[in-house]
Amino acid sequence: MTEQQFRILNNHIGYGNPQAEVVFIGLEEGCKHITLLDNYNYRFANNNELLDLSEFHIHSPVPDMNHWFGAATSSQSTWGQYCKLLLMRDGAPFINANDKFNKLNYQLNDLGSITGNSLLLELLPLPRPNHNFWDPFLDCPNLGINEYNYYACELLDDRIRRIRDLLVARDRTVILHGKSKHQDALTLFNRILDPLVFVTDHALDGPIVASEFSLTSNANVRFLLTPFFGNGAMSNAAYENLSHLM
């Protein structure tokens, strides 16, 4: 990968309305190994910091990107959970918010829309099949980036500062799900000298909790660190109670 190509990927931080009240933050976007080159080549032609989730994916020539929109028949697993939470936040009862077609409709028309009320951000710039994956194509010799020092790249600090600067533009609730990602997020914000400060734990359902943190620089940006949205880690009651905190 060239330096210019890496900088294009690093410039893109996510999808949605920069003024959204609700933000979902992931560690990085996913992709399939078999279509990695096509996925990246499509992204290299899009140098915007924020994009519309539906518009960006539906125009992709990569099947595992565009099939979640247009003629999609079901929501993507993680996005479907976001849609369910947002529907409940807007007042829908759980049974309606969890309906397959209601989640799909929200994904197609509202999730990550530049005119909607959600913002989907990624802490790291390189889409990968999993967090341990590396391919020689991802090496960037001009920036000294390889599989052994990717997380130490100084350009990542600039990315986290831009995410922080975007977040503090208004009061927001930021959802970070997946315990394996929590420490990565804490570490990255520590690196830019704006640590996330623990506030309290919110009981969602029995032992399931959402740990609330705030930015050192702005207590009105609330981070809710939750279990993973999948594999039964979150009960129905936990989703409902989380929606009330958003």
What's the pLDDT tens digit per position in 167-187?
Answer: 999 999 999 999 989 999 999
**Nearest alpha carbon to residue 52 among 18, 87, 103:** 18
What is the CA angle 18-173-130, rounded to 5? 80
State residue 230's pLDDT score. 83
The whole-number pLDDT of residue 70 equals 83
Tally of domains within the chain: 1
Strands (E), the chain: 14-16, 22-26, 50-51, 118-122, 172-177, 196-205, 208-215, 218-226
- This prediction's pTM: 0.96
How far is the C-alpha of 1 from the C-alpha of 21, rounded, in Å? 35
Amino acid letter, residue 123: L
Q: Which residues of the chain have pLDDT under 50?
A: none
Q: What is the pLDDT of residue 71?
A: 83
What sign results for the dihedral spanned by CA atoms 60, 68, 179, 122? positive
Question: Could you give the dihedral angle defined by the CA atoms of residues 78, 81, 87 and 92, in that order, rounded to the nearest 10 degrees?
Answer: 160
Distance CA 162, CA 230 (A): 29
Range of the domain at 107: 3-245
- Average pLDDT, whole number, for the chain? 96
At 231 the pLDDT is: 81
Angle (CA) 196 25 237, round 5°: 95
Distance CA 54, CA 69 (A): 6
Distance CA 123, CA 171 (A): 20
Q: What is the CATH number of the domain that holds 162?
A: 3.40.470
Which H or E element spans position 35? none
